[in-house]
């Protein structure tokens, strides 16, 4: 496990209210380390109408501002509990850079998996194979 990343995610996590009590931010904090060794963090936004965003997305946006795309490892934390990335976050990582299929995802109970293990039958790979088989 990556203690620095876990600490960085814990440091930014902490729910706080926005314009009204049911609209909040910060319940989940995320941290990622890029291939260059930089650490970027982000928090979630829990908003109405589905316009919120995951903490991993915020951390990825911060990374992209610095023109980096390759994520070595990532973690998300809520109330001192490590959470796996949702499907949307997994998809974002791969679409940012295909090399991110090898990203180490820190999970609960001291476990880590590579992103490709969480996306074993990645739809873009299947689409490319189908096109290849059809001669496209």
Give the whole-number percent of the chain exceeding pLDDT 70. Answer: 88
Paired with 81 in beta bridges are 78
Least confident of 29-33, 47-51, 74-78: 47-51
Q: Which domains are assigned to the chain?
A: 3-133 (3.40.140.10)
Q: What is the largest CA-CA distance in the chain?
A: 55
Helix, strand or coil for residue 103? Answer: coil
- Tens-place pLDDT, residues 65-81: 999 999 999 999 998 89
Question: Closest Cα to residue 39, out of 55, 11, 63, 56?
Answer: 63
pTM of the model: 0.87
pLDDT of residue 132: 47
Helix (H) or strand (E) run with residue 131 in it: helix 123-133
Any residues with CB less than 8 A from the CB of 42 and at least 6 apart, and which? 12, 29, 30, 31, 55, 56, 57, 58, 59, 60, 61, 62
**Helices 55-65 and 87-96, axial angle in degrees (round to 10):** 20
Show the beta-strand stretches assigned E in the chain: 16-17, 24-34, 39-46, 71-78, 81-83, 104-106, 112-114
Q: Is the pLDDT of residue 105 over 50?
A: yes
pLDDT of residue 120: 73
pLDDT of residue 119: 83
């Amino acid at each position: 496990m990556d203690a620095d990343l876990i600490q960085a995610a814990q440091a930014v996590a902490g729910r706080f209210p926005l314009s009204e009590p049911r609209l909040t931010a910060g319940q989940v904090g995320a941290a990622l380390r890029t291939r260059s060794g930089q650490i970027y963090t982000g928090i979630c936004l829990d908003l109405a109408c589905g316009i919120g965003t995951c903490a991993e997305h915020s951390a990825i946006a911060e990374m992209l501002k610095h023109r980096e795309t390759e994520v070595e490892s990532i973690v998300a934390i809520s109330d001192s509990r490590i959470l796996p990335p949702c499907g949307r976050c997994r998809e974002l990582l791969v679409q940012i850079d295909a090399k991110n299929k090898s990203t180490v995802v820190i999970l609960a109970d001291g476990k880590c998996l590579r992103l490709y293990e969480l996306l074993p039958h990645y739809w873009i790979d299947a689409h490319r194979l189908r096109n290849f088989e059809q001669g496209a």
